[in-house]
Amino acid sequence: MKLLNMKILANDGIAPIGKQQLEAAGYTVITETVAQNELINAINNENYVALLVRSATTVRKDLIDACPNLKLIGRGGVGMDNIDVAYAKEKGLHVINTPASSSLSVAELVMAHLFGAVRFLDDANRQMPQKGNTEFNLLKKKYAKGIELRGKTLGIIGFGRIGQATASYALGCGMNVIYADPFAEKTTVNVKVGNQNVAINLTSSSKDEVLKNADFISLHVPKLEKPAIGNDEFSKMKNGVIIVNAARGGVINEEALIANLNSGKVAHACLDVFVNEPTPGEDILKHSKISLTPHIGAATLEAQDRIGEELASQIKELLG
């Protein structure tokens, strides 16, 4: 039988739609953030049965051991590096996430970075407020060598949910797409054109082929033990390649990236994720050939709504 008024702490927030759906099912949902060092006391004193987090709150063994009434840990989003998942499961807790909810939003951010990079939008936006009314014509000349995405080749490394969603947008823009993923040999990508869906069949290439043939490279692998891209990989790329990382900080070796931007091998990098978040290195933040966003791939209203709804429906199914 369902216990009414079970309490849930959404410590990093939850979209209103998810909160409403949980409340309609009889849960009380608290969205005020409790500081990490006060979390154990809050969970025990308030008798929370579920703790929902995004990436800010961490859920480690000590918390799991100290909160025996906790039944569920939920991550709004994909990566669960901030949760001791295996340990929680061993202790009988449900551990859930919402892997599919944000794929389209991350893919759109990748496209935004690419469109921006080929027309120098990030640099133009830095320079125009300073020099727009004194050196307009110089700036116009500086940014006169933009290129189009249409007809160019996007190489995607890691062809899961987000890699495929990115491919769908890129194909829809008239780009060629090649990809490397040892676990996805053949893939059908659905491209939405107006109100029609066009199915495009693609076959995996080797990583070296992708590095060699792509004009743009976008990374969509999980966090790996060693960087997917370092000096060796950069040396195999086309001169003037543009690279995007909206996967996880450390998937590109940042020192190697800076060296290859400085040498001109890489024309531009677009980063949404960083080593040492939330304090990325100054050399990355200040580099004139890097466009930057502060890990906002999933941060759209639509994705947050889908995350909230997906969490609510899983909680109702698991806890009643």
Q: Is 230 in a helix, a strand, or coil?
A: coil
Q: Name the one range near ligand NAD by CB under 6 A: 135-143, 190-198, 295-303, 309-317.
A: 295-303
Give the up-direction half-sphere exposure of residue 292: CA atoms within 13 A in the CB hemisphere.
Answer: 16
Measured from the CB of residue 30, what is the shortest distance to ligand NAD in angstroms?
25
Report in angstroms the alpha-carbon separations of 299 from 184, 222, 294.
27, 19, 10
Residues 14-53 that bind ligand NAD (CB under 6 A): none
| Active-site residue, 148 included | no
Convert residues 104-143 into a mask of x (bound to ligand NAD by CB under 6 A) and - (unbound): --x-------------------------------------
Q: Where are the beta strands (DSSP E) in 146-214?
A: 153-157, 176-180, 186-193, 196-203
Q: Which of 248, 268, 287, 306 is catalytic?
A: 248
Residues 180-209 that bind ligand NAD (CB under 6 A): 180-184
Convert residues 137-176 into a mask of x (bound to ligand NAD by CB under 6 A) and - (unbound): --------------------xxxxxxx-------------
| Active-site residue, 233 included | no
Say how far apart CA 269 and CA 293 lie, in whole Å: 11
Q: Is 214 in the site for ligand NAD (CB under 6 A)?
A: no
Measured from the CB of residue 231, what is the shortest distance to ligand NAD in angstroms?
17
| Active-site residue, 255 included | no
Say how far apart CA 89 and CA 209 lie, in whole Å: 40
Which of 160, 153, 152, 149 shows the shortest CA–CA distance to 178?
A: 153
Say how far apart CA 63 and CA 95 lie, in whole Å: 14
Among 11, 21, 97, 102, binds ligand NAD (CB under 6 A): 102
Which of 208, 272, 215, 216 shows the shortest CA–CA distance to 246?
A: 272
Which residue, 42 or 184, has its beta carbon nearer to ligand NAD? Answer: 184
- Supply 300's token pair: 């759209």
Sheet bearing 241-245, strands edge to edge: 176-180, 153-157, 216-219, 241-245, 266-271, 290-292
Sheet bearing 28-30, strands edge to edge: 28-30, 7-10, 48-53, 72-75, 94-97
Q: Which of 135, 209, 255, 295 is catalytic?
A: 295
> How many chain residues touch ligand NAD (CB under 6 A)?
32
Among 71, 79, 91, 143, binds ligand NAD (CB under 6 A): 79
Convert residues 232-261 into a mask of x (bound to ligand NAD by CB under 6 A) and - (unbound): --------------xxx-------------
- Catalytic residues, by residue number, are 248, 277, 295
Binding site for ligand NAD (CB under 6 A): 77-79, 99, 102-103, 106, 157-163, 180-184, 220-224, 246-248, 272-273, 295, 297-298
